[in-house]
Amino acid sequence: MPVIAVVNPKGGVGKTTLATNIAGYYATDSTPVMLGDVDRQASARAWLDLRPDAAARIRNWDIDGSVARPPRGVTHVVLDTPAQIDRKRLAEVVRIADKVLVPLQPSMFDILATRDFLQELQAEYGKGGKLANKVAIVGMRIDPRTRAAEELGRFVTQIGVPVAGYLRDTQNYVHLAAHGLSLFDVPASTVKQDRATWQSLLGWLNTH
């Protein structure tokens, strides 16, 4: 059962947007999927509460206490995590996760904070190559052709963590989230450009 954790202690980088849309992708692909919310703000849970009955089903994993193995009945699990996640909870998430995605927006403040987090992650949990092929960055609200993407590329080269993909800046995420929907719940023709930016990320998720 693949468990995909979306983690970055920096707030406002797009963790819930990324987590809900990954869950939406698997659900609309007829994959039994569960969305777990480790964040006390429960933004992902609130998104699920808004989700229409007619939309592809995403089960809620009501996490109470420690993060153990998820319940049976699904094949994929997506975990949304809070800003300023404590060490104990982070250790639990990393332990059960098969893949860890680190969303990152192209600002120097976000880059510096994320660099420190990734170095800590590698030092704490990467011994013996345990994080190899497990952790990747997702560039949020970014065009890979811009200077901001170049800066992000240089940062990634320095720390040795791959970029799974770049997701463009669009209001479609905001509008769809207000109705409990993802990019994958609406006709592809209406979000064609947005979906195109997901191909690299989905390829990384499905092949690593």
Q: Using pLDDT thresholds of 50, 70 and 90, give the confidence band for residue 88.
A: confident
Of 155 and 136, the one with more pLDDT: 136
Express each pLDDT in 36-58 by its tens digit. 888 777 889 999 999 999 999 99
The pLDDT of residue 65 is 61
Evaluated on CA atoms 76, 138, 102, 59, the torsion sign reads negative
> How far is the C-alpha of 44 from the C-alpha of 20, rounded, in Å?
7
Greatest mean pLDDT among 120-129, 140-149, 154-163, 186-195? 186-195
pTM comes to 0.91
On whether the 3-207 domain is CATH 3.40.50.1370, my answer is: no
> How far is the C-alpha of 44 from the C-alpha of 77, rounded, in Å?
13
The pLDDT of residue 40 is 74
**In angstroms, how far is CA 185 from the centroid of its own chain?**
17
Q: Using pLDDT thresholds of 50, 70 and 90, give the confidence band for residue 72.
A: confident
Of 200 and 106, the one with more pLDDT: 200
Region 190-198 average pLDDT? 95
Domain ranges for the chain: 3-207
